[in-house]
Amino acid sequence: MKSSAPGKVILFGEHAVVYNRPALAVPVNQVCVDVEVLDSDSAGVFIDAPMVNLHGELSALPPDHAIGSVILNLFQRLNISAPPALNINIVSSIPVAAGLGSGAAVSVALIRALSAHLKNPLPDEQVNDLVFEIEKLHHGTPSGIDNTVITYNQPVYFIKGQPIETFKTGKPFTIVIGDTGIPAPTKESVGDVRRLWIKNNNAFENIFNEIAQLSLIARRSIESGKPELLGELMNQNHELLQQLTVSSPELDRLVTAAKTAGALGAKLSGGGRGGNMIAFVEKESAESVAQALLSAGAKRTIVTEVG
Ligand code: MEV
């Protein structure tokens, strides 16, 4: 049985979303995780996942292993105490720890392929719930936005704990994603923001409120077919993320390079400190902005159309 899941990118509202403010995120189908589950002749569950250098038996992994724990959680959910002999192949083009949701995408594709192979395919809602539980094991206090966008493969306006709202794009628009190539685990930046939020509660609450306003205006602009407003909103969101301390010299450099090359606005995207930034561009300037990002040190770029 085979399954696939896309990457994701946050347009507005990262970090604030952990504190119940709204955020906007969209799937990125240019990168994905593919999982294939096959019956095996030799006993045990063998996993091949070259992107994390994993080639081995499930039973040899520590119980909290990022991929092993997904499989164990699913067996538990399906009441499987003696799993059949399996070969699980996982191939991913989503960079790890780059803010594109690689972990959630592996979990979604793995749970879908494995549950279907075990003749008990889980509906989206259960896939989403289970992946959120797994995200909590590895990421501390995730908002749930990554698993939601990736499970449903649709743009979402996300507020933690509330029913899923997707949004429509009145007019398609183009985003260039630039990867600093610096791995930055979300858990760390989310943990640091939490420590600072405890110390500077009023200031951080105010920043989260300002970010919430931007997410709200951005959603309206997208839905009413006025994406041209997004550039300035991204610039403002980036400044607020700098105040939350989650930008970095490399991210700032790429943001500036994108704007100098003609992007209408840019910001970091995801947990920050490293990982990715995004730039809002006119379709015609996407290639030159991507080129400028590479010249400024980006390890790779992705041009994606939203809507
Ligand atoms: C990570 O993709 C986005 C953060 O807001 C964390 C989260 O929402 O769980 C930084």
- Select which of 41, 64, 146, 252 is catalytic: 146
131 neighbors 147 (Cβ within 8 angstroms): yes
99: pLDDT strictly greater than 90 = no
Shared domain for 126 and 181, answered yes or no, is no
Shared domain for 112 and 219, answered yes or no, is no
Residue 109: its pLDDT value, please?
A: 98
Instruction: Identify the domain containing residue 110 by its residue range.
Output: 2-166
For residue 223, give the CATH number of its domain. Answer: 3.30.70.890
From 8, 10, 156, the mutation candidate for ligand 1 (largest count of ligand atoms within 8 A of CB) is: 10
Shared domain for 144 and 179, answered yes or no, is no
Last residue of a domain, one of 150, 166, 182: 166
Q: Which of 156, 168, 286, 268 has the alpha carbon at shortest distance from 227?
A: 168
Residue 138: its pLDDT value, please?
A: 83
Shared domain for 190 and 122, answered yes or no, is no
Dihedral sign, Cα of residue 233, residue 148, residue 156, residue 262? positive
Bridge partners of 214? Answer: none
- For residue 26, the surrounding DSSP H or E stretch is strand 23-39
**Confidence band for 179, pLDDT divided at 50, 70 and 90:** very high
Shared domain for 30 and 98, answered yes or no, is yes
Q: How many domains does the chain have?
A: 2
262: pLDDT strictly greater than 90 = yes
Residues with CB under 6 A from ligand 1: 10, 14-15, 17-18, 99, 142-143, 145-146, 186, 190, 270-271
Residue 196: its pLDDT value, please?
A: 98
189-246 pLDDT, tens per residue? Answer: 999 999 999 999 999 999 999 999 999 999 999 999 999 999 999 999 999 999 999 9
Shared domain for 157 and 197, answered yes or no, is no
Last residue of a domain, one of 105, 134, 166: 166
Shared domain for 178 and 244, answered yes or no, is yes
Shared domain for 158 and 180, answered yes or no, is no
Q: Is 39 a catalytic residue?
A: no
Q: Which of 154, 244, 163, 147 has the alpha carbon at shortest distance from 203?
A: 244
**Confidence band for 184, pLDDT divided at 50, 70 and 90:** confident
Residue 146: its pLDDT value, please?
A: 94
Residue 96: its pLDDT value, please?
A: 85
Q: Report CA(250)–ligand 1 centroid distance (Å).
A: 19
Rounded mean pLDDT, 269-274: 95
Considering the chain, what is the average pLDDT of its residues?
96
From 8, 9, 15, 276, the mutation candidate for ligand 1 (largest count of ligand atoms within 8 A of CB) is: 15
For residue 25, give the CATH number of its domain. Answer: 3.30.230.10
User: Which pTM value belongs to this model?
Assistant: 0.94
Decide: residue 161, CB within 10 A, 0-12 exposed, 13-18 middle, 19+ buried: exposed
**Confidence band for 98, pLDDT divided at 50, 70 and 90:** confident
Last residue of a domain, one of 118, 133, 166: 166
Shared domain for 155 and 208, answered yes or no, is no
131-155 pLDDT, tens per residue? Answer: 999 999 888 889 999 999 999 999 9
Residue 182: its pLDDT value, please?
A: 94
Shared domain for 24 and 158, answered yes or no, is yes
Shared domain for 160 and 178, answered yes or no, is no
Shared domain for 46 and 117, answered yes or no, is yes
301: pLDDT strictly greater than 90 = yes
